[in-house]
């Protein structure tokens, strides 16, 4: 079953028939053809399999996780694929990443959502753990969903990542997080995450070494 679903997920990706001066990949989600411009010189500007897993889940579980008119924030959005799919499914999305990625991210989001979505997504800078209250004040920022795909990898900012999850998450916020397991140090982040949040596995793909989690603040999971 794992291999069948993974094959279906990977079939959502297509490549240009002709090589052009601009590198891009195509994807079929939410009834649309999505074209993503990538940059191979940066981790954040490449579409990783965890993003495809999360997009597929959002599309195939759109009744249980109805995103229409929901406030959604994606952290570490990279190329923006997950945010684009959430927008196409009706969500009001805040798309975030580091400042050096915002140009390509804005291009992808605008190219794939303009005049196609109920709510035009907003692209904002978010450096994990920095100026969180200034840029996302707790009193006025309320997100129904936090989405994250492959944000835990070999980087030194795991403390800041956990702080960011904690700051953005209200008592009724649902976190949808796709994670590829790689190194022990990174994998230990799951245990640290569980000190603040209840965690439930909603999909598991051993062939990709990817797990999709649902999380909420401790004691809030129904």
Q: Identify whether 141 is part of a domain.
A: yes
* Residue 51 clears pLDDT 60, i.e. is over it: yes
Longest CA–CA span in the chain (Å) reads 52
pTM (predicted TM-score): 0.94
Structure tokens at 189: 């982040």
What CATH number corresponds to the domain at position 178?
3.40.50.150
Share of the chain above pLDDT 70, in %: 95
Instruction: Give every strand in the sheet of 24-29, ordered side by side.
Output: 13-14, 24-29, 32-37
Assigned domain for 89 exists: yes
Residue 192, in any domain of the structure: yes
Where residue 67 falls (left for φ over 0; alpha for ψ -120 to 50; beta otherwise) is: alpha
**What digits encode the pLDDT tens for the residues 143-202?**
999 999 999 876 779 999 999 999 999 999 999 999 998 877 777 899 999 999 999 999
Q: How far apart are CA 120 and CA 41, in angstroms?
A: 29
Instruction: Tally the domains of the chain.
Output: 1
- Residues whose CB falls within 8 Å of the CB of residue 185, separated by 6 or more in sequence, listed in order: none
Determine the structural domain holding residue 120 and report its residue range. 1-217
Q: Is residue 222 part of a domain?
A: no
């Amino acid at each position: 079953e794992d291999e069948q679903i993974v094959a279906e997920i990977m079939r959502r990706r297509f490549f240009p028939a002709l090589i052009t001066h601009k590198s891009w990949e195509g994807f079929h989600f939410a009834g649309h053809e999505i074209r993503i411009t990538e940059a191979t010189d940066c981790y954040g500007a490449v579409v990783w399999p965890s993003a495809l897993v999360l997009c597929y889940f959002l599309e195939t579980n759109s009744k249980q996780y109805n995103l229409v008119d929901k406030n959604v924030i994606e952290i570490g959005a990279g190329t923006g694929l997950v945010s684009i799919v959430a927008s196409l499914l009706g969500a009001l999305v805040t798309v975030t990443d580091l400042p050096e990625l915002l140009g390509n991210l804005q291009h992808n989001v605008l190219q794939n959502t303009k005049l196609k979505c109920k709510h035009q997504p907003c692209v904002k800078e978010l450096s994990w753990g920095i100026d969180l209250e200034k840029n996302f004040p707790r009193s006025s920022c309320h997100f129904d969903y936090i989405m994250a795909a492959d944000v835990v990898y070999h980087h030194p900012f795991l403390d800041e990542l956990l702080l960011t999850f904690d700051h953005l998450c209200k008592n009724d916020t649902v976190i949808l997080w796709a994670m590829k397991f790689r190194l022990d140090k990174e994998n230990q982040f799951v245990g640290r995450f569980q000190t603040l949040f209840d965690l439930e596995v909603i999909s598991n793909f051993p062939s990709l070494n990817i797990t999709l989690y649902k999380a909420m603040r401790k004691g809030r999971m129904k």
